[in-house]
Every structure is written in structure tokens, then in C-alpha cells.
Chain A
Amino acid sequence: MATFGVSVSLRSLLTGSRGTERVCFRARARPLPGALLQPLPAPCGAGMPCRRLCSAAESGSSQIKKPTFMDEEVQTILIKMTGLNLQKVFKPAIQELKPPTYKLMTQAQLEEATRQAVEAAKVRLKMPPVLEERAPINDVLAEDKILEGTETAKYVFTDISYSIPHRERFIVVREPSGTLRKASWEERDRMIQVYFPKEGRRVLTPIIFKEENLKTMYSQDRHVDVLNLCVAQFEPDSAEYIKIHHQTYEDIDKHGKYDLLRSTRHFGGMAWYFVNKKRIDGLLIDQIQRDLVDDASSLVQLYHILYPDSQSAQEAKEQAAEGLQLIKSEVW
């Protein structure tokens, strides 16, 4: 952990009893220059500053306790809505086939095997994080005019020590003009993939993420494949990741193909996106048409959690509505 002189003191104020994974930078528009550590699961819904944890340390602070994606309540609702269709979760993968194995089982053994399959399915359905877009790095370390004109190409210096987390790695670029600057996020991702290749990720962006190719994928109903490739290729807080996810969700909403993502790990992210944009109508209608009344009511409940000031939320609180009543209060 290299250069954290300034931020450590701030963090110690904030940490309290919450645990290290919930640390966030308080009231800063963009991270400190030395702070290459970006907290991964520190999402903020709808772009508002994450003040929920700070409220523990600062008493009498904001009454706007904006729920995040990673809250337990929100996560349970999203997991319930995603469903668990074993046949769909364990759909035959396109790989080299081997002949199947057969076992003779009693009813008890069969139930045990099914239970283990359900556990494995739950692991597969773990949702990828929903984060804010990362701020660009525009930091110059040194200006050496003396080197101008000596080289014709940029040089990228990467620290390849094995035990440093990738977010804290030093990657700097010496321009032909002599400036030594920090590498931008795209350059960082590329360099890290070159030296520490991750499976499923390519160094250069695959052409499938171009507009026309994405359109072809959408027309073939392969939204799940697009999202899986996107998760493998980009970092969760990069601009392309967020853009592609939003584009996919928009396309699903336009054509009403919500069922494609049900029982996949992307359903939670999609529901969160729609609730944040306040456009849950299509999803609600689809759920009602498929007779998933519980899911519909939990979607409305989620909406009320996020926007307790809306009219339908107030009505529901007055009537203490449940299930169908809740949906009706939302709809009318």
C-alpha cells in the first residue's frame, strides 16, 4: 500500500465498524492524485454522494439515506425477482462434449443433488457490481522540456510487481514532448491485460462491441451473451461497460424482452437501472402478464424504497398495502 498518507487519516474517520469494503471518499468530486485505490463495491445510486456510512460517524447528518445497489434489502429483493430456473441457469454450454455419466440414486440422494445444484446456481447468479463511472486521470508528474524531440513514440512504464493490487499499480507514460504523466484508464487496462492477462479479456476491444455488431446481437436475442462479454472485457466502472449495459437495457425495454435476462445474473442490474430511471412500467406489465405477482409487488416495493417521497409511496404507506394492493396503488 504505497502512497496513502493523506487519505488514511480520512478513512480512519469514516471506517468505524462498517468494515473496509465499505470505505468511500467523503465529499470529494474526484479521487486524490495518489489514491489509485478505487473502492470496488462502493456504488452510489443515481449519482448522489454516498453518505449512508458517514451517518454513523457524523451524527445528525443527512436524512437522504439513498439506498445503494449493495444494500441487503435491495439485494434480497433483486435476488427474489431474478428467480432460479435451474434449466436456464445450467443451459448446455457450447464446449467440447463428453459422454454423460449416469448414477443410480434414491429419492433422498436426488434431493441432495438438486440442493447442491441450487447452491451452485446461486453462486452463478451473483450479480456483477453496479458502480459510477470513473473519473478520468489527468495528472502530470513532470515536465522535461529537455527531452522534447529525442523520441518519436510514447513510452509506457508499468510496475509489474506481482503482489500489488491492479488499482494501485503505477503506470506512467512519457510523451515525445517530454511530459511524464499518469496513464489514462484505458491505457492502464490495456497494460494490465498485457502483463497480467485475465481469461476472457482481450487486449484490444473486440469488434463485437461496435454499434452495428451490437445491433445484430440484439436482433438475434443474444443480450445475455453481450452482457457476459462486456463483464469479461471491461472494468465495472469504465465508461464502455456502463454505456453497453445501458444500451442493452434500453433495447430490452424497447422490445419488452425482459424474460431473456430472468434467471441470469444481469436481471438485478437491469431492474436497478429501470428503478433509477423511474421507468418500471414495461417490466411491471411483463411480470403481471406472466402471473409473477410477488415479483411485481417486490419491484414496486423497491421503487418505494428508492423514492419514498413519490405519491404512490405515500399512499401505500398510509394504507399499509401488500401485494396486489401495492401494485394497484402504484398503477392508478
Chain B
Amino acid sequence: MAAVVRAAAGCLPVLCCAPAVTADELWKGALAETGAGARKGRGKRTKKKRRKDLNRGQIIGEGRQGFLWPGLNVPLLRNEAVQTIAQRSKEEQEKVEAEMVQQREEWDRKRKMKVKRERGWSGNTWGGVSLGPPDPGPYGETYDDFDTRILEVRNVFNMTAKEGRKKSIRVLVAVGNGRGAAGFAIGKATERADAFRKAKNKAVHYLHYIERYEDHTIFHDISLTFKRTHIKMKKQPRGYGLRCHRAIITICRLIGIKDMYAKVSGSMNMLNLTRGLFCGLSRQETHQQLADKKSLHVVEFREECGPLPIVVASPQGPLRKDPEPEDEVPDVRLDWEEVKTAQGMKRSAWLGLKRAAT
């Protein structure tokens, strides 16, 4: 809004002959957003100025002398009669001006106040920060029960002919509704907020449904290798919590898994970690599938229940009569790290560390 700034009328008989400059032009000069300094990331963060609207709170008719103009400062009619032009006393005018100054100061304070951003995995990272539910789709579908969490924010650069290094923000985001449906996607844009939005809305289109055992853990232990990332996940009973990599904790909370142990070794690349995790969790074999595959009852034995057999799944087809061959020594490949921990040969400062429950 271009309001014309003039000197207060009433004192000077002659108006200045300076050309009328709009507020936009003045601010453009003052802020200096474009220029050699702003390009290529040379601008300092502390030197950024913010534009302020100087005409805020200005009422046409208010002036230093304190005249009351009916129709401008003061209501036009009073008791059905048109009022005359009057003037405030000196004390009243001082009071009014002081009030105005106070009001302006309050506006300034409010503008300067920094809203604290919610903390993710640690103070300055964007990992673990929630972005709220994804935006509704074009056909009216809403995703209110989905929550999105950022997993990684990275500045990536591309060399162009004209500008040279061109910065772009790449964001990896996961969405989930806590009841088994979850997905992940990456979004890239020049601005951070745009990248968040793109990733969020893309992730909702790539959902996986992950089967959970009794809605709190996985069906069986999974150990897989995705590219150079090795993930080993173990099934745990209720109350154990999620003792995993912080990204895996975030994703498991979105899926709805509450108790699991996971160990990540090898590469910690966030994208490969997420892809491997989803791949492994989607390829779980439920008890019913196992029973159908082997045509045998799947029977669970719990320590706390003694020798009681609990049939978890029975095959839908016919039951096999011959039992599953069982070796005396199980034919599994042992993990050397696990063997060392079990035998007490592992010397690490992080063994037996107790953290807050998740």
C-alpha cells in the first residue's frame, strides 16, 4: 500500500518540490535484498533487515498540534448536531502521543519475539520434528489420522551454467497413522517449507501396510542387509520399549510398533536405512502364513505361563501328520557380536546403559 508521506500541513506555506516516492521503493533501497552480496550465499544471517509498515496506527487528522477534526478524529454528529473544529489541551495531547508511542513499542516487541520451534532429536536438527498431517487430496480425502515426521534435511548443490553452485533442500519424511499404515518419501525444493510440503504430500501416496503381532511388536526376528546397511531387529515382549536407532524409533512409532530391539551396523545412510527397514517389515511372515506354508499348528510357549501351549495359528488347509524335522543343534548362522555379548567378552562403555523409556 503506497501511502504518500508528506510533511504536516499547517506550518509550512509551501510544499516541497521533491518527487513522490512510494514506500516500496524506499524499502527496496533500504533492505537491499537483491545485489551481489545476497547471491551465492554470501549474505550474513545477522545483516537481514525486516520491513516495517510505518503507517500502521496512523489516523488521518491526528497531528502534533492536537486539532480535533469532526469526521476524521472525532465523530461527525453529536446529539444530531454537526460539531465544530476544536483543539485538545496540551496535557491531553501529550497523553495521546505517549499512548501512541507505547502502542508502537508493543508492536515492535511482538514482531521481534521468536517463536520456539519444537525440538526434534536434538536442539538444532530437523530430525524427529513433526509436520502435522498431510494436506487433503484433490478429491476431498483427508489424512487427519496420519502424522508426518522429518527424518533428514540436507542441503544439496547442483552446478548450473549461469549461477554456478545452486542450493536445493532435500527432505526425507515418513508418514504413519499408528495402526500399521506407513510410508516415506523425499521432497526437493529451493525453499525449506516447499520441500517439506512436497515430501509430506508425496509420502501419503506410497504407503505400506505392516503386519504387527498383537499390535505391539513384529512377528519374528529379522536380520537383513540393504545395500551397505545391516539391520537386525528382534521381537520383544510388552513393556520393553523401542531400543533402536532414533530414526527407527520415529518410524516404529508412526507404524504402531511399541516394543522392539534393533541394531544398525555398516552404513548409516538415512535413505537406505529407511528403505531397508520398510523392505524388511513388509516381508514379515505372519503366523497364519507360516502355518499355511508348513501345514502345522504354530504353538507359542511363554515363560510366564509355564508349560502351557497356546495355539496361535492353525493351517486353513489340511493338517500334516509328519512332524517337522528338528536337529539337536539348530542350523542357524550365529552373529559374532551377539556371541561376544552373551559370553561377556565384549568390552564397551555402552553395555547395560539405561535410558529413559520410550
Known: A107-B319, A116-B307. A101 touches B296 (CB 8 A): no
Known: A86-B308, A113-B307, A117-B309. A105 touches B237 (CB 8 A): no
User: Please, could you name 15 A-B residue pairs with CB atoms under 8 Å apart, sorted by A?
Assistant: A90-B308, A97-B304, A99-B237, A102-B300, A103-B299, A104-B290, A104-B298, A104-B299, A105-B323, A108-B323, A109-B323, A113-B299, A116-B307, A117-B308, A117-B309
Are the C-beta atoms of A97 and B303 separated by less than 8 Å? yes
B198 within 8 Å of A (CB atoms) = no
Q: A97: nearest residue on chain B (CB-CB)?
A: B237
Known: A97-B238, A102-B312. A107 touches B297 (CB 8 A): yes
Known: A95-B304, A105-B297. A110 touches B320 (CB 8 A): no
B165 within 8 Å of A (CB atoms) = no
- B residues adjacent to A (C-beta < 8 A): 220, 234-240, 287, 290-291, 294, 296-309, 311-312, 319-324
Are the C-beta atoms of A98 and B303 separated by less than 8 Å? yes
* Selected contact of A99 from candidates B235, B298, B305, B321, CB within 8 Å: B235
Which residues of chain A are near B304, meaning CB under 8 Å? 92-95, 97
Residues in A102-156 with C-beta less than 8 Å from chain B: 102-110, 113-114, 116-117, 120, 124
A60 within 8 Å of B (CB atoms) = no
CB distance from A233 to the nearest CB of B (A): 23
Known: A92-B302, A99-B234, A99-B237. A106 touches B308 (CB 8 A): no
A100 within 8 Å of B (CB atoms) = yes
Q: How far is the CA of A87 from the CA of B310 in the complex (A)?
A: 10
CB distance from A228 to the nearest CB of B (A): 15
Known: A90-B306, A97-B237, A99-B236. A104 touches B296 (CB 8 A): yes
Which residues of chain A are near B306, meaning CB under 8 Å? 90, 117, 120, 124
CB distance from B328 to the nearest CB of A (A): 15
Which residues of chain B are near A93, meaning CB under 8 Å? 304-305
Q: How far is the CA of A46 from the CA of B265 in the complex (A)?
A: 71
Which residues of chain A are near B239, meaning CB under 8 Å? 97
Q: How far is the CA of A161 from the CA of B126 in the complex (A)?
A: 70
Q: How far is the CA of A100 from the CA of B237 in the complex (A)?
A: 8
Which residues of chain B are near A103, meaning CB under 8 Å? 298-299, 301
Q: How far is the CA of A116 from the CA of B220 in the complex (A)?
A: 26
Q: How far is the CA of A264 from the CA of B319 in the complex (A)?
A: 35
Interface centre among B238, B308, B311, B320 (most CB of A within 10 A): B308
Are the C-beta atoms of A104 and B324 separated by less than 8 Å? yes
Which residues of chain A are near B296, meaning CB under 8 Å? 104-106
